Amino acid sequence: MKITQQRIIATLIAFLLGFAMLSMANATTPEENKAAGEAFLAENAKKPGVITTSSGLQYQIITEGTGKSPSATANVTVHYQGTTIEGKEFDSSYKRGAPASFPLNRVIPGWTEGLQLMKEGGKSRLFIPSNLAYGERGAGRDIGPNAALIFDVELIKIQ
């Protein structure tokens, strides 16, 4: 079999089409994501140590901090791991080997609210409903529209 530019292009197109079809077959709709998130959060709220705020944010204190709590506009330094409710990791400062620093009012609302409930040196697990995360737009290919998210967050420092 002679390898030609046409064969290479045809093979590449077939691969890409197959990959696209597989991705579409595994995709969930925004409505399915929202329903799954709501069901997850309803069950999660029943677990010991899980606190639900008036906004719907849920959190669980893993380690109580001893420092101060940040304001909504504070600059913070944190280590974190983010996963979907199915357990798929989509981001981790731990894996990058460096904590992240940012103004608290420049992140998703679930983080802004959740970190204000923490103290320096503390670690919490945030269970964030879609409306306090990325909402209908989602984020990248790992966070679908209307997806609820889970973050383990360690508040290292408030600047």
Residue 91 is a catalytic residue: yes
Q: Do 84 and 142 form a contact (C-beta atoms < 8 A)?
A: yes
> Catalytic annotation on 15?
no
Catalytic: 40?
Answer: no
Specify whether 94 is catalytic.
no
User: Among all chains, which residue has been given the structure tokens 């894996």?
Assistant: 95
H-helix segments, the chain? 5-26, 30-44, 93-96, 109-116
The residue annotated as part of the active site, out of 134, 150, 156, 158, is: 134
| Distant-in-sequence, close-in-space partners of 100: CB < 8 Å, separation ≥ 6 | 77, 78, 79, 80, 93
The backbone torsions φ and ψ at residue 141, rounded to the nearest 5 degrees and listed phi first, read -95, -10
Residues whose CB falls within 8 Å of the CB of residue 99, separated by 6 or more in sequence, listed in order? 77, 78, 79, 93, 156
Q: Residue 94, CB half-sphere, CA atoms under 13 Å: how many?
A: 10
Catalytic residue among 61, 94, 108, 152: 108
90 classed as catalytic: yes
Options 40, 59, 151, 156, the catalytic residue: 151
**Active-site residue, selected from the candidate residues 40, 59, 85, 91:** 91
Q: Give ∠ CA 108-111-114 in degrees, rounded to 5.
A: 145
Catalytic option among 90, 94, 142, 152: 90
Q: Which residue is catalytic, options 80, 127, 143, 158? A: 80
Q: Which residues are catalytic?
A: 80, 90-91, 108, 134, 151
